[in-house]
Every structure is written in structure tokens, then in C-alpha cells.
Structure 1
Amino acid sequence: MLIRDAFPSDEPFWRQLWAGYLAFYQADLPDEVTAKTWERLIRKQDGLFCRVAETGGEVCGFTLSVLHAGTWTVAPICYLEDLFVAPEHRGKGIGEALIRDLVGLGKANGWSRLYWHTQATNDTARSVYDRFVKADDFVRYRLFL
């Protein structure tokens, strides 16, 4: 398995995985949002970046993250916004490897922390995430504008 930055040529593979990710969360996004997201990921614009997992020459998973400043630290903070592994590749340690990749990048680049969230009912993902750290007791509020 190889974990690396996404290349522009990965777009069709990423779009297929992205569609699976959106379907999992029962989300529907306009094409223009998906196109802009990919553009920002590839250009590493606005702190966004994409790492992909590749096995046998096939892109089978990704992390989409945002590197940003914070008010409680001088070092950058990484928010792992999205993580997805193709269903046929699950159970092979790819999700865990993708998180370990970000941990390694964070240590090498002086990030202060890495954080993410998932649905409380996403037991499969939580069983992987709990290997790194237990969930905290914060509650999220979202106000759409």
C-alpha cells in the first residue's frame, strides 16, 4: 500500500470514491461544489489537501484535511474532514494507515494536533478511531447560512 498526495490524474478515482462517501452520508452536493473541492485539494488552496491510499495501482481510499491556525496554539492544527475507503477494500487496515499517515505528517511538520469527528452511530469507523484516541465530550453545533 502506498499513501501519497493526490495527483490531478486521480480525479476520476477520487470522484468515484467521493460519490460513495456522499452516498454513505446520504448527502447530495451540486457538481460545482465537487469540482471546486477537487480544484482546491489539488492546488492545496485554503489549507485543503488530499492524501490517497493506493493498492495494486488502484486508488482505494482518501483523507481530505484542512490545515489551519488556532487560538490555543502557535503551531498549525489539522482537521481531518473526510476519510473514506472503498467498501471492497475495508477491513485491510487502510483507514488506520491513512490516519497514521496524517499523524506522521503532523509530527514531521510540527502540527500541534489532529482532530476529526464522525457520526455517533458509525461503529465501524469508531472502532478504528478509538485505537488512536477516545472520543471527547464536546457537542457540535452547526448553523447553516
Structure 2
Amino acid sequence: MTITVTPLNSADRDEWQRLYHGYAEYYQMPMTDDILETVWQWIFDPAQPFFALIATDESGQGIGLMHFREMVSPLRGAKVGFLDDLFVLPALRGSGVVEQLYEGLRAQAKQQGWPFMRWMTAETNYRGRAVYDRIAEKTAWLTYQMKVDQL
């Protein structure tokens, strides 16, 4: 299989939407037309440092996606990259799509001048973590989330 990874463009809307629905379904999160439209607008808004990559096969079908953004790192006095979303069609996991997406991400990070990319994953994402352990360094940081309306 030939895998091509490129920045998302406006012609990719249907493939992106299909993949993003799959991502939301995997995490059992609701996906609405409003959410889809908001995220799509972020990707193409020059004022938003938010980006997307899409992996396609030789027929042009979308087989994977990544959403990532710029994030400030105050202790470094620098901007870094943060990967928000990664999804590969379940039938193609283990086929090299993830590695190709990460190579595309590395190239985009270099282009943006970010010294590194950071991301989180579920502790139980053993298959994904096996890849991440090969291509990245696990940090010592834990993640917390506070609901602002429950203080």
C-alpha cells in the first residue's frame, strides 16, 4: 500500500469528516455538524495556529488524520507543538500509517520552528503506546482536568 501524508486542504472535507466521525466514535464522544464546522474553520483560519494532516492510500481514500497546534511554553520562552488528535482506520493499524503520520508531523514541527511535539494518550492505549515508546520519550508529567463550573 502506498501511503501519502499531506496537510489537509479544502478538497479533503469528505474524507476528513468520515475519519473524524470514526475518531469521535472510538472515544464515544458526540459529534455534531456544529463541532465539525468549528474544527474545519479552525484548520483553515490563518489566525488560529491549528493544523491537520491527512493520510491517504493510492486511491485517495483517507486512512488517517492528525490535528495539532501551537502551544506556548513559558519556562522555555518558546512555542512548541501539541498533538490533539490522531486516528487511523482500525483495519490499517499496524500497517505503517501511524509512522508515516508522525514523519509528516515531524516535518510540520520543523517548518513551524517548534523544538518538540507533545501529546497525551490513555494509559490503556497499549497498542498506541508501543509506537510512541519507539518514536518519542515518555515524560514524567501526569494530566489533570478541572471542570470550571464545579468549583
Deviation, 1:90, is 1.7
Structure 2 partner of 1:63: 66
| Preserved CA contact (<8 Å) 2:5 2:56 | yes
| Preserved CA contact (<8 Å) 1:54 1:60 | yes
1:10 to 9, 12, 16: 12
Distance 1:44 1:132, change over 3 A: farther
Deviation, 1:44, is 4.7
Aligned equivalents of 1:81 and 1:119: distance in 2?
12
Gaps of 5+ in 2: none
Distance 1:47 1:60, change over 3 A: same
Deviation, 1:45, is 4.3
Q: Deviations over 1:43-78 (max 9, x none)?
A: 354211101111111111111001122202244211
Distance 1:28 1:71, change over 3 A: same
Amino acid at match of 1:18: Y
Residues 131-140 or 77-86, more deviating: 131-140
Aligned equivalents of 1:25 and 1:3: distance in 2?
23
Residues 29-38 or 55-64, more deviating: 29-38
Aligned equivalents of 1:128 and 1:143: distance in 2?
29
Structure 2 partner of 1:119: 122
Equivalent position SS for 1:115:
strand
TM-score under structure 1 length normalisation: 0.90
CA RMSD of aligned residues (A): 1.6
Residues 121-130 or 84-93, more deviating: 84-93
Structure 2 partner of 1:34: 36
Amino acid at match of 1:82: D
Structure 1 partner of 2:56: 54
Structure 1 partner of 2:96: 93
| Preserved CA contact (<8 Å) 1:42 1:50 | no
Deviation, 1:9, is 1.6
Return structure 1 stretches of 4+ with deviation > 6 angstroms.
none
Q: Deviations over 1:92-128 (max 9, x none)?
A: 1111111121112223442121000110001111111
Deviation, 1:11, is 1.1
Distance 1:46 1:109, change over 3 A: closer
| Equivalences, count | 145
Distance 1:143 1:31, change over 3 A: farther
Gaps of 5+ in 1: none
Residues 107-116 or 74-83, more deviating: 107-116
